[in-house]
Amino acid sequence: MSEDVNEYDGIFGFGSIINSSTHAAWLESENASSFAGRMARVRGQYQRAWNFRSATGFTALGIIKSDEAVHVMNGVLFKIPASVIADFDRREVGYDRIEIPQDCIELLAPEYHEKPQLADEFGDMPEKVWIYIPQEGHDADENHPLLQSYVDTVMQGCLEWGGQPMAREFVATTVQWSPYFLNDTPSSRRPWLFRKEYDTIDKILRETPSTHFTERKHPEEFASAFLSNMRGIWSVPRRNTTFTGRDNVLLQMHQTLTTQSKLEVVGMGGVGKTQLCTEYCYRYYPSYYGLAIWLNAESAETLAANYRQLMADTTDVDVKDKDADEVVTEVKARLYRLKVPWLLVFDNLEDHSLLEKFVPRGGASGHVLVTSRWVESVSYVTTLSLDCFDSAESVEFLCRSAGERNVQGKDNLKAARALADRLGHLPLALGMAAAYMQRCDVTCSEYLNRYHQSGTLLAHRASKLVDYPLGVASSLSLSLNVIQRENNEAFELLHLLGWLGPDQITKALLRSLLTAKSERKSTDEEMALVASARKQRLHNACICFSLTTMLVVTTARLSKQRLRNAGLVSAICVVSTVFHLSKSSREVPVRTRKPSISSFVYEETDEIWNILKSFSIITVKHGKGSMHRLLAQALRHAQSEDLACRNLEICLRAVLMGWTFRPEKTETWQASLAILEHAKSVTMHSFEHKTSMLVEIARLSKEIGILATMVLNRFVEAESALEHSLKVICQAERTTHTHRIVQAESLYELGRVLRYQGNFEKSEEKLRESLMIRKNLSRHDPTIHQAIAETLHEIGMNEVKRHNLDSAASFFQQALEIKQLMDAEYSSIHRDQLDASYAKTLHQLAAVYVARKPPSLAKAESLLQEALSHSTQIGQRAATLKELARVTMRQGLLDRAELYLAQALELYEELYGENASHINVAAVKFQQGALESQRARLEEAWVCFSDCLRIRRQVYAYARNQSDNSDENPAHLDVSSVLHELGHVAYNQHNVKSALEMLKAERSVLERLFETTPTERITQARLTNLTWMKKCYQTIGDEEAMLQIATERKGLKLRKKVTENDSKHHISDNNLENRTPIQVESLRCRLVVRQFALASDTERAAFNGDVQTVLAELDIAISNSESNSMRSGAIIFYNTVTKALASKQVVPKDVLLRACDDLRDVLRDQGIQVNDMMQKAL
């Protein structure tokens, strides 16, 4: 080896250092991939253990030193330049670096390595070898658990270096594994989405009982088992270490939020709103807030996606099967019940109506912080306008960000003030200027001179940057000039990034862009060569034609023999001309191979990445970069139309390189999700600039829609993407077979999305249009038949939703007939896909027969049995067996139902693991309990329902009452339903005490649910609950309790009737949205007061709370309304009613009714219809 060994030290990695991919995040000055490494073992006093508590709240790997025993610990010995040892010391804060004697180290032979050449490249042993030992050791606990993400990092490193043998040795030689083991990975219940090599890692962990792998818990299970409250920061951006000034603003924000629940920070882009709110989160967590949640609020879809991810991170609910509204409702309910002070940050909000949908109503401990570019008058949100820096803050910011040495001295300070003035004191522009000074090592004075002297690259298009100072374009222009001189590839790549999404910029994306750009350059060169060749051949053809013409002209003077010879020459020339022209027209470039990503591209990407970071063009967090939207906008506006089209085609090809999405292959979802925003951005811009790759754009837009539906449940976003795909196809000048296929596919997917949203008529329209296109295509392409069958199936599903059961059955039958005909055509490769599709249609057809009046249970059972014979997927078989059990129970075939349920449970245990607390397992247990109740086997029913309750309590633990630890029942309808069944079983066992205990628990759950979601379904459940409680009290002869329950039930029925009348005669009015708040509240208050006046004396007690509530709401509406006749009438009504209710005598019924009549007349004068439905009572 030529290298000087003395220039290198050795570091023995026994934990996360084993994984070399973790090095790049904290080594700024060195290429981490260049560190040579070799598998090794350390023998002696050191033993690896889980005993180091990280400052971020988890337990990492450390070392136990023992003087009594000899231990063996495997790992990787890295050869590190001595110059970067200090970087390792900063990384391993809390550890001491200790030298290991060389006689304790064993270097493993090359054959132990997955890549034996790495051992050969390592060379000789460094003279010094270091290991990091914790300064203090502590076992894991509930506040510092083991994290699956950390374990994955170490295990992935082991698998990379030494395969499964090394990973197993790591597990075997590590001690102090703990039951405080948290599966913190994203979508932890769907590991295939985000965890690399999860199956191998989990298998190895499961093999060793000491790892406590079987006790590993998902976030919501961990919180339920160990934590009393949810705490922490979720998705808040990294704190800015150069944050400057704004102290008074931060104090004002906090003072406002201590008295108001909502605050909005407004200002132009680049003024620092996001940085300000990020700083606020870190300053007041955890001293004031126990939970801070950061949300991307650009649209309802992005907010729903954030809530979905939050729910996936904090509950075990399979969010894939829930629509957006369900997810939002559950998250809001959880926040409502939290007693820990929480802060919701809505970043970049554009539609203020979204606050109503995504913020919980009420909740004593919650605050909302909003950032927005636009000032919108919203009465219930206090607004704080954020301006640019003042002069002092600008200079301080430049000193901190550019380096004090570049702003030292009077001249530089003077230049800093002048530069700040020129840049409008805008933090974004100042940040780019500071990065330039730091990167190019120039003083502020020199930068100001360059700023004056340089031509502004973006000046001629800066006028398009509406509402922004030209300093943004000027600062960017100066940086671009330097970048172009230093690295033209980085300059061109930056212009490509302007067309992609502003976030999730990765090195892999840059490599794809470089490769796509190289492909485009090669194509352009080939086309240029072809054009040149054609031009030359055309030139030759013209010469031949000219000679021919000359010969023809001169032949008139020649003899006959010479004439014949000349004719022959002319013929040859003509043939030559035709040959040259035809060859020129036929010749096209042929690509022999597709360019691959070379090792040079990796080095070039690293260089470009560092350049963009150093100029503050992108900010990097966890290996992913972000570009300010204003910079991207400026870069786009700087490009001509021709350059924009060329760059967009390059971006589209780059995105397609990483877009691997296949709906049926879940392993492709993660990679496509990572570039989803880039795909959406490039398809939108490509359509606007009318690029030539229309089919590719349309197909990508269609797949974006499918992904948004299947993986994210973002139906509005999916509808938009699919509509965009259809618009692109319509833009094509010539429609080909491929165009028609993509059009039919987009229409089909759009029809499905519309059905999910409940728009059945429009769904049918799109599906039938798709069906017509596919039938036309099938005349020349028999492979379309499967697509026709799927379209018929979807039309049938749509008919089911519209309750057209006969029509639905007809479409399902047609789909089955086509699939049966295709059976013989399919190869074994497609067999599973066809069987699953066939079983799906059979299952839905069976559901139609069950839903009919009267139901055709025998036919449904036959279809489900046939579906079962075609089902190969575990989940699909289990669902079919559950449905079969329901059918056979209704037929009275209880033994068969019992068998089906047992088989379904066995499949679910195979899918989720034995004793798994999963929602589907609970559903089977519930059906088993119902079956045993039907058989009057009450003890067995009690056991099944109890198992179901135990699982549901764990599944919905997030919805527990945080203020009352004695209440173990979460507020969820699934919990209340099983409590009701347990009460029913206990009553039939003549155990009235237990029955009342269960029914009271159900009552408590339903009351808590009604506080947040007062739906008709919950109201009906409450009425049924009270009926059974009355029955229990009647059994034991408690007449006082019976009377109390009867009164409560009567009041609840009255309130239900009022709600129904309100909905029927007032809320359903088509003009409600045009009414003022005081008109709406007057209508509601009048209706409740009228019902109260007409009620009996015993009924009024249950009604009194509602009257007080509507009067309070009317009072607020009066205070916020302008003076007019409506306000005057409402004031008279309010005063009359409150005075009548305050009377200590009997409530004057006639006074209340007269007040209602007077208010009715005022409302009618306002053009509002008021229909009293209780004339008989009058």
pLDDT digits over 265-316, tens only? 988 778 888 889 999 988 887 667 878 899 988 877 778 888 888 877 666 6
Name the band, by pLDDT with cuts 50, 70 and 90, for residue 226.
very low
Task: Match 């606050």 to its residue by tokens.
Answer: 355
Grade residue 1066 by pLDDT with cuts at 50, 70 and 90: very low
786-840 pLDDT, tens digit per residue, is: 889 999 999 998 888 888 888 999 999 998 888 887 765 554 446 677 788 888 8
Q: 75 and 24, same structural domain? A: yes
User: Angle of helix 148-172 relative to helix 198-207, nearest 10 degrees?
Assistant: 50
Burial of 453 from C-beta contacts in 10 A (0-12 / 13-18 / 19+): exposed
- What does the pLDDT read at residue 985? 94
Same domain flag for 647 and 595? yes
Ramachandran category for residue 154: left, alpha or beta (phi over 0 → left; psi -120 to 50 → alpha): alpha
In a domain, 978, yes or no: yes
Q: What letter does residue 459 receive in the DSSP assignment? A: G
The first and second tokens of residue 436, run together, are: 């330039």
The answer to whether 28 and 148 have CB atoms below 8 angstroms apart is no
Asked if residue 819 belongs to a domain, the reply is no
- pLDDT (tens digit per residue) in 622-632: 677 888 777 88
Cis peptide preceding 286, ω within 30 of 0: yes
Instruction: Yes or no: say if 433 and 398 are a contact pair by the CB < 8 Å rule.
Output: yes
Residue 479 lies in a domain: yes
User: Cα(133)–Cα(15) distance, rounded to whole angstroms?
Assistant: 11
Helices (H), 829-893: 831-851, 857-870, 874-891
Q: What are phi and psi of 665, to 5 degrees?
A: -115, 100
The strand order across the sheet containing 342-347 reads 232-234, 291-296, 342-347, 366-372, 262-266, 382-385
**Domain limits at 1134?**
1060-1165
Has residue 576 got a pLDDT over 90? no
> What is the band of 927 on the pLDDT scale with cuts at 50, 70, 90?
very high
- Domain termination residue (choose one: 916, 946, 965): 916
CA distance linking residue 598 with residue 98, whole number of Å = 40
- In a domain, residue 451? The reply is yes
What are residue 255's phi and psi, to 5 degrees?
-65, -40
pLDDT score, position 573: 56
Q: Examine the domain organization and report whether 475 and 521 are in the same domain.
A: no
> Quick one: tokens of 1059?
């709600």
Contact 89, 9 (CB under 8 A): no
What mean pLDDT do residues 1106-1127 have? Answer: 82
Mean pLDDT, the chain, whole residue set: 80
Do 888 and 992 belong to one domain? no
Say if residue 76 is in the same domain as residue 199. Answer: yes
Q: How confident is the model at residue 350 (pLDDT cuts 50, 70, 90)?
A: confident
In sequence order, what are the residues at sequence separation of 6 or more whose Cβ sits closer than 8 angstroms to the Cβ of residue 380? 262
Q: Quick one: 54 and 197 in the same domain? A: yes
Q: Is residue 709 part of a domain?
A: no
Among residues 900, 916, 932, the one where a domain terminates is 916
Comparing 21-35, 230-244, 788-802, which segment has the lowest mean pLDDT? 21-35
Residue 745 covered by a domain: no
Has residue 377 got a pLDDT over 70?
Answer: no
Q: Quick one: 377 and 407 in the same domain?
A: no
For residue 175, the SS3 value is strand
Is omega for the bond preceding 854 within 30 degrees of 0, making it cis? yes
Give pLDDT tens digits for 400-415.
888 778 888 888 888 8
Q: What is the pLDDT of residues 597-625, one digit of tens each?
A: 555 788 888 888 888 888 878 877 667 78
pLDDT surpassing 60 at residue 468: no
Q: Residue 584 above 50 pLDDT? A: no
The pLDDT value given to residue 964: 53
Residues 185 and 248 in one domain: no
Tell me if residue 1089 falls in helix, strand or coil. helix
Q: Which of 112, 197, 216, 109 lies closest to 157, judged by CA?
A: 197
pLDDT of residue 1175: 33
Can you give the CATH number for the domain in which 994 is found?
1.20.58
Most confident stretch, 222-236, 577-591, 838-852, 951-965: 838-852
Of residues 389 and 1146, more confidently modeled: 389
Task: Identify the H or E element spanning 118.
Answer: helix 117-122
Looking at the structure, tell me whether residues 365 and 468 fall in a common domain: no
pLDDT of residue 383: 86
Q: For residue 90, is pLDDT > 80?
A: no
Q: Are residues 380 and 395 in the same domain?
A: no
pLDDT at residue 828, as a whole number:
44
Confidence check: pLDDT of 948 > 60? yes
Percentage of the residues of the chain whose pLDDT score is greater than 90: 21
φ and ψ of 451, to 5 deg: -60, -40
Q: How confident is the model at residue 317 (pLDDT cuts 50, 70, 90)?
A: low
- How far is the C-alpha of 1012 from the C-alpha of 337, rounded, in Å? 10
* Residue 895 buriedness (CB in 10 A; 0-12 / 13-18 / 19+): exposed
Name the band, by pLDDT with cuts 50, 70 and 90, for residue 588: very low
**Structural domain tally of the chain?**
7
CATH number at residue 178: 3.10.490.10
Q: What is the pLDDT of residue 41?
A: 94
Whether residue 594 has pLDDT greater than 50: no
pLDDT in tens, 415-458: 888 888 888 888 888 888 888 888 888 899 888 888 877 654 44
Both 1093 and 1065 in one domain: the answer is yes
Q: What is the mean pLDDT of residues 57-63?
A: 84
How far separated are the first and last CA of the chain, in Å rounded? 106
How high is the pLDDT of residue 376? 54
pLDDT in the model for residue 55: 59
* Angstrom distance (rounded) from CA 1089 to CA 1104: 9
Question: What is the average per-residue pLDDT within 731-741?
Answer: 85
pLDDT at 9 over 80: yes
Note whether residue 798 is domain-resident: no
Q: Please enumerate in sequence order all residues whose Cβ is within 8 A of that of 91, keeping only pairs 6 or more positions apart, or say none.
A: 26
d(CA 716, CA 701): 14
Threshold 0.75, pTM exceeds: no
- Confidence check: pLDDT of 512 > 70: yes
Q: For residue 1036, what pLDDT band results from cuts at 50, 70 and 90?
A: very high
Residues 454 and 534 both lie in one domain: no
Per-residue model confidence (pLDDT) at position 926: 94
Asked if residues 412 and 444 have their Cβ atoms less than 8 Å apart, the reply is yes
Which of 385, 408, 430 is where one domain is finished?
385
Closest CA to 321 of 331, 333, 308: 308
| Higher per-residue pLDDT: 896 or 302 | 896
- Give CA–CA dist 930/174, Å, rounded: 48
Please give the Cα distance from 819 to 1083 (Å, whole number). 57
**If you write DSSP's letter for every residue of 368-418 in order, what string do you get?**
EEEEESS----TTSEEEE-----HHHHHHHHHHHH-GGGG-HHHHHHHHHH
**Is 963 among the domain residues?**
yes
